[in-house]
Amino acid sequence: MEQVLTGIIGRDPEQREYHQAIREFLASVQPVLERHPEYRRQAVLERLTEPERTIIFRVPWMDDQGEVHVNRGYRVEMNSAIGPYKGGLRFHPSVNLSIVKFLAFEQVFKNSLTTLPMGGGKGGSDFDPKGRSDTEIMRFCQAFMAELFRHIGENTDVPAGDVGVGPREIGYLFGMYKKLKNKFTGVLTGKGLAWGGSLIRPEATGYGVVYFASEMLARQGETTEGKRWLVSGSGNVAQFTVEKILHLGGSVLTLSDSSGYILDEEGIDTAKLAYIKELKNIRRGRIQEYCERYPRATYVPVDPVLDWNPLWSHRADCAVPAATQNEINSKDALHLVDGGVRLVCEGANMPSTPEAIDIFKSHNILFGPAKAANAGGVAVSGLEMAQDSMRLSWSSEDVDARLHAIMKRIHCTCLDAASTYGWKGDYLAGANIAGFVKVASAMLDQGLV
């Protein structure tokens, strides 16, 4: 195991996020390799941790003032053993090859857990959509797709949205793909309902996180009702996490964006959530404006001097980090423990550092890892692909029921795999093992390719 990790670090020493994802994964699957020596003989780990294909390209585009900009685009097609590559596109200044590779690697096992036939991939650009006009966003998306279209297809690689890529961006990307290929196919998910999208797709990741958390609580004889929740972020995942918590009788105290966070001790109710959706999705404003509308809430700006986030220091029962990777460090984890939090369920991808996860485990906090807990989004993307293939649309009730069933199944799968390989009750180990065994077995079946 150490030899595999040492080889990865030696080959790409600067890719810290990718090393983190690999290190956490390898720590869980050691018992699997001991029972399955064929995985070692066939170098499954070495093959799994090297992308099948990495595509990097320039994206030149023009702003509204006629100035030319050049960004970098990525698509990492990690593994296609169980289906076409599937995973989102992220537009954010932090995007680099390390982040795209870690996201693609996690996506392989997340998709495996859904039981749907999808491989893993991820992509995006270091383009920052903040402050850009709709026409600038359109020009960038068209320039990005002018290269990406060569590498994707409904049976090859099916991208979706992620941070910075919502319905607007998916629309522009799809329009350009359709023009370039002269065909209308389900090559992207997260599409508009009028042109091949699925009901419940916008809600899916957030709803799925809460469904998974509810299963974790139910195993302890508890429910979501009456519990106080800390949630970070204010984008799609965070919004619908809050919505589902409210549906199930819980209370949400916080939301955030890159400028700071709000604390509403009275709880963010449905009317307040509707305001947040309008603020973030339509006006594209800052979360600080919430306190102008609801002055009894408190706004706390980001303090660049602090090496911890005060959002996680408030008393609550449960927490959902739904903003970005590594947003909860060891100090934040200790604050969550001190604040009485008994469950952490990840809405973002890899939002907890390894040190934070160790603290959760040592204090018996229920921990739902991202590759299991936030798999609802890609699960409904898979359902969207199925609807596109059949040229039909399922009702929201039907899709939601399928999503709920998938999240319950993922919960059981994680616990079963953890118990089988000596990690009883460990959702992180169970998710890694269950996803790995399915993909590794498929790779062996298909030979050395």
- Which residues are tagged catalytic? 122
Residue 135, Cβ density class (10 Å: 0-12 exposed, 13-18 middle, ≥19 buried): exposed
In single-letter form, the type of residue at position 199 comes to: L
The helix/strand/coil state of 125 is strand
Both tokens of 349, joined, read 């991808």
Task: Report the C-alpha gap between 121 and 3 in whole angstroms.
Answer: 25
Q: How far is CA 393 from CA 114, 164, 213, 284, 390, in A?
A: 20, 26, 28, 30, 9
Task: Report the C-alpha gap between 105 and 24 in whole angstroms.
Answer: 12
In angstroms, how far is CA 81 from the centroid of its own chain? 21
In single-letter form, the type of residue at position 76 comes to: V
Q: How far apart are the first and last CA of the chain?
A: 22
Q: C-alpha dihedral over 431, 415, 227, 233, to 10 degrees?
A: 0
Q: How far is CA 431 from CA 305, 351, 370, 373, in A?
A: 36, 16, 9, 9
Both tokens of 121, joined, read 């991939």
Q: Are 181 and 151 in contact (CB under 8 A)?
A: no
Give the ranges where 182-325 is alpha helix by DSSP (H). Answer: 204-219, 236-247, 270-277, 289-293
Q: Are 403 and 200 in contact (CB under 8 A)?
A: yes
Q: What share of the chain is helix, strand, coil (3-state, %, to 5)?
A: 50, 15, 35
Write out the H or E segment, with its range, that includes residue 24. helix 16-35
Task: Report the C-alpha gap between 124 and 165 in whole angstroms.
Answer: 9
**DSSP codes joined into one string, 148-214:** HGGG-BTTTEEEE-BTTB-HHHHHHHHHHHHHHHT-----SSS--GGGT--TTTTTHHHHHHHHHHH
